[in-house]
Amino acid sequence: MNLLYGLAFISLISISTAQDVPEYGQCGGIGYTGSTTCAAGNTCVVLNDYYSQCLPGASSSSISSTSTTSSGTTTTTTSTSPTATVSGFVKTSGMHFTLDDKPFTLVGANAYWVGLMNYDIADMNTAFADIAATGATAVRTLGFNEVTTPDGVAYYQSWNGSTPTINFGANGLENFDNVVAAAKAHGLRLLVTLTNNWSDYGGMDVYVNQLLGQGSPHDYFYTNATVIAAYKNYVKTFVTRYLNEPGILAWELANEPRCLGSTSATSGTCTVSTISNWAADISAFIKSIDTNHLVAIGDEGFFNDPGNPIYVYQGSLGIDFNANLNISTLDFGTFHLYPESWGEADSPGSFGSQYITDHATAMIASNKPVIMEEFGVTIANQNDTYAGWYSTILSTDLTGDLIWQAGSDLTNGPTPNDGYAIYPGSDVYVLDTQHAAALKVRDGSS
């Protein structure tokens, strides 16, 4: 571990025994019992109800909150006057992100639901304020919902037989305009995923089934010319709408592409080359339209090591992380981490730390940024597991991370919770706040 980074992280997760709290240390919040006096040159700033931090040169608090309770979970409804300014486009320099030629720390959360549940502007503001209060800079969300019959949620493309129609209306792209504006109001930039490997919210199988017939192989999405043309048409329309929008950080080709989708239908011919070739084609297509925004795959980061006893390392799922990272039209790498779902429930902490380390090794070899853009466990010691992973991220210099997933308490109740949601006031929410600060110290972007 780099000593400077390690000390920065340790100082954030420990309560100082000294009278004056050191720079970037905790100085207040619900349940906090330590000193509230910051070392000289620092001011105690309220980041949320549960975490105040000693920041250099700061002079006032920027967040005010009112605690509420929903479904037995303590949450926080954050009230702010959104005035953040988001300008310029995030770029890459070696293994790092930059903004206006200065370090940019990519850290934050996933909030797939924010653009789909027909939330009003006030609820969108609450959701993004809760995320921003942790020190987040980015949010990953969905830029798709394929429907054959509208079902009351926002959707972006509907299908009548083999004919797709993009929805530009109030519950379509106008709704996504509001998502972008609300995120920007809280200083957040969006990573936008343009389709899904899985059947949730339509995804690849809708294209395949509507254009080629019900039950057609899932992997035809990557190879069939008719399907590729339809997807490119959607991508072009969506991307073009936001060409000059600094609130978009990056486009992602798909969420978790694999040879196999939610059904068992495959051609039997899909390999790692199938998806790599598709990723090279689609990323080059986006780059030909949009020179402002970064592009990534949005994959789980599986390795291609045939014979490895761990299946996410074997290459059998259609992803070769190292090969994909070297595609010239992909700006950074992504990986996901769910040990419990991958048969590693007995030692999720150590498995996860090794998985992070292996991706950091690939990052160094490629000299491109790599982020852990989804991760989660549901075990009782969730907080300790994440703390260990965050320590590994810092020690390996991994570029950044986005937790799965953000949670908020909105007008009609809590946002969707699949067992991973992190609501304001929870131990992990406080840990995320500490981690974001540590990453910014490491990067020199705080």
Q: Count other C-beta atoms under 10 Å from residue 95's C-beta.
A: 17
Residue 315: what residue type?
G
Q: Which residues on adjacent β-strands are paired with residue 403?
A: 109
Task: Sheet containing 102-104: give its strands across.
Answer: 91-93, 96-99, 102-104
Catalytic residue among 146, 344, 373, 374: 374
Active site residue 146: no
Beta-sheet pairing, 248-252 with 73-79: unpaired
Contacts 24+ apart (CB under 8 A), 52-59: 52/26, 52/27, 52/28, 53/24, 53/25, 53/26, 53/27, 53/433, 53/437, 54/21, 54/22, 54/23, 54/24, 54/25, 54/26, 54/27, 55/23, 55/24, 55/446, 56/23
Q: Which residues on adjacent β-strands are paired with residue 371?
A: 334, 400
The DSSP 8-state label assigned to residue 205 in this structure reads: H
Q: Is 288 helix (H, G, I), strand (E, B) or coil?
A: helix
Catalytic residue among 252, 256, 344, 373: 256
Active site residue 174: no
- Can you say how many angstroms the Cα of residue 127 is from the centroid of all Cα atoms in its chain? 15
Q: Which residues of 321-353 are buried (b: 16+ CB within 10 A; e: fewer)?
A: bbbbbebeebbbbbbbbbbeebebeeebbebbb
Q: Which residues on adjacent β-strands are paired with residue 191?
A: 140, 250
Whole-Å CA distances, 407 to 129, 340, 424, 425: 11, 21, 7, 11
What residues are annotated to the active site? 256, 374
